[in-house]
Structures are given as structure tokens and as C-alpha cells.
Amino acid sequence: MSGKSDSHGRKKGSSGKRGKEKSDAVGDSPAGDQSASELAAIQQGHKRVIIPDEDDDPSKNMGSVTTNADPSGSPNRKGAKEKTILSANGISYAAAAVFGAGSFGVVIEAVEIENKRKVAIKKVLQDPRFKNRELQIMKLLTHPNVVLLLNSFYTSGSKSGDVYLNLVMEFVPETVYRVLRTYAKQKQFIPPILVKTFSYQILRSLDYIHNLGICHRDIKPQNLLTDSSTGVLKLCDFGSAKILVKGEPNVAYICSRYYRAPELIFGATDYSTAIDVWSAGCVIAEMLLGAPLFPGDSGMDQLVEIIKVLGTPTLEQIRSMNPNYTEFKFPNIQAHPWDRVLRSKTEPSAVDCIAKLLVYEPAVRLTAAQGCKLPYFAELAQSDVVLPSGAHLPYLEGI
């Protein structure tokens, strides 16, 4: 493992272990319940184009890609300036720049030509052997803390037979990952009120999708879109998400390592939405610390990092995570008090929040709904609270 460990098992200066950021969509969706959110979205020009399920077939919902001469575009290799236009379902988008990239494909910052609004277009190469689960799930979601799907269509690739799914989403300018990096470069921590505001919205977004039976399975700073000036946070990237069915096995090798719940490391395949709550706890702790809480270099090293803080799990705790796990050879390590693991200036209610989210036993871990009711978030109900930007808090459902 790289980096030095402190006396509590945490690593110092581990932010450099990050790979290239994976980003998804990014705009600011309105507040309110589902119907109010949809109405406000339409009023702001963020109208969702409803595509019937039968039109999820690429052959029935193909868009077009054209390259036009444009004085304001970017020069190509021959020096001519061009812009790429994507058109589908009666709407055209001018691609501006690549906003993010990862194993999934790319996210393009674009402008809806008719109303000049920014959008993000996630472009994913389709495997003909599988139906894309992300589109099906995103069509179910309308919530202030979940990125809004505006349109979807398919386009042909440069190689014969290649088909890309294009997910058009509202544009949000930052991610929690970028906010963490910005403050780290300045040798500062994210202001406590911003951490609290972001944390509440993370849990609220999870409560919403969990009530629909959806497990995100990849909660991490890169998949949490933010606008620091307004305090808005939105969950994105449903490429790993799944509607969990009791009794139906799931893959255990899921979720980015630093945020992977211990039951996944123990190989559980019948896990619950509690894995998202663990990941959320890791992200909140990272915002409080300014560095990842459990920066493991491998699956087993990840477990070692967790044990350094939570102590060696008991036989009963291991069985609660995976009753089929038979390897019980772990050194006896005592747990460290959370107020010694986190920074000394961390408010006690924040320490209590982390302690209740990061618990070995999935059934003992708080649900996202319970997390939203913790005393840590009581300050958000005060009318005189403002963000570092001077702006009032964003709409917070349930506050």
C-alpha cells in the first residue's frame, strides 16, 4: 500500500491514488415531489421526451450525427472549423466538448439548439447480447436529487455494426470528487455546512431509489453531481444499478473499491440496498476528512483497511454479511473510536452519523431514510443558514 498510515489506520495524502475521474451527466433540476419536479423541469426547458418501451429498440429510435461547417466550432486536422450535431425525436444538440470519460464511454457537454440550454450526453457502446439496464431505470426516476433524463436515442458508430446509446441529461457543473480535489489543492477542507448539505442530499437520493427497489451499486464522489454555489447535489450514473429481487443472486464484484461494503468483500450475492448506505458513509467521511477513509489497494487490502478502523468482525458479524463464508482467519484488532478516526474538529453529531452508517451488519446499518433523520442534519432546518457562497440552502426534501 502506498502512503503512510496514521495510528488509527487511516492513510495520509491518499488523494493521489485516484484514477481518471468518471463523470456522468450534469443543470439543476427543480424541487418538489415527482409531479411538481416534472412540471418545473418543463417550465425551465428541461422537458423529458418520453420514449415508449418498444422504441428502446435501436432500430426504432435512431438519431443522426452530422458535421457542419461552423465559424465558432473547433478546428479539425485540416484547419476547418466544424461542429457535430446530434438530432433525435425532433430535438437537435450541438456537441461542445468531452466532459468526462471512463470504461462506460464518454460524456459530452452539449447545447440544445432550440433553447440554448446546456445538457450532458452520455454515449455508451451497446453490447447486442444485453439490454441496457441504465436506460430502463433512468426512465423511472424523477427526483430533485437524481439527475434527470431528458431524452434518449441511438446512433451508429464509425465501425460497421457499432451502435451507441445516447442518454441526454440535465447539466450539473461539478462532482463531489472535483470539489474534494479543489479544496485539497488549496490545503483546505470542504466547509462543514457544505458537507452537511451534500450528505443530506446523498441520503435523500438513496431513500428515493431504494423505495423503488433500486440499488445503485456504485456510490462514489465521481457519481455525485454538485453545484457548490447553490449547494445542489444529484445522484448520477446508473450503469451498475439494478432492481434487487429477494432470492435472486447478484454479482458480488460490484462498486468501486474504496466504497465497497464489507459484505461484498466477503462474497455475498444476496445483499441489499444497505451496500449503498455503506458507500454513502464512506463518501461523507471522505468529505469530513479530505481523503478516502478506506483506501485499499486490492479487495483483501480493502478489508484490512476497514478492520483497522472497525476492528476484527466477530463470527456473528461475518455470518450476517455472508452466511456461506468459511474463512475466519483474521488477526484480533480492536476498533478505534470514531472521534479519534475523524478530525478532532468534527462535530459530535457528524461522528455519530458516520458511526451509524458504517456498521458491519447490513441489518444494523441505518437505512437512508433513517439517516436523513439524524441530529447531524437538524441545522439544515434553520432559516438563517447560508452556504459559503452566501446563497441560501437549496430545496431539501423532508427538511
Catalytic residue ranges: 218
Name the helix (H) or strand (E) containing 192: helix 192-211
**Alpha-carbon gap, residue 199 to 211, rounded angstroms:** 19
Q: Which amino acid is at 225?
A: L
Contact assessment for residue 279 and residue 255, using Cβ atoms and an 8 Å cutoff: yes
Name the helix (H) or strand (E) containing 110: strand 105-112
Name the helix (H) or strand (E) containing 350: helix 348-357
Name the helix (H) or strand (E) containing 133: helix 133-138
How crowded is residue 266: how many other Cβ atoms within 10 Å of its Cβ? Answer: 22
Termini Cα distance of the chain: 42
Q: Which amino acid is at 194?
A: L
Q: Are strands 91-102 and 81-88 parallel, antiparallel or unpaired?
A: antiparallel
Nearest by Cα to 388 from 226, 240, 274: 226
14 contact partners, CB below 8 Å, separation of at least 6: 2, 3, 291, 292, 295
**DSSP code per residue over 196-223:** HHHHHHHHHHHHHHHHTTEE----SGGG
**Alpha-carbon gap, residue 155 to 79, rounded angstroms:** 26
Rg, Å, the chain Cα set:
22
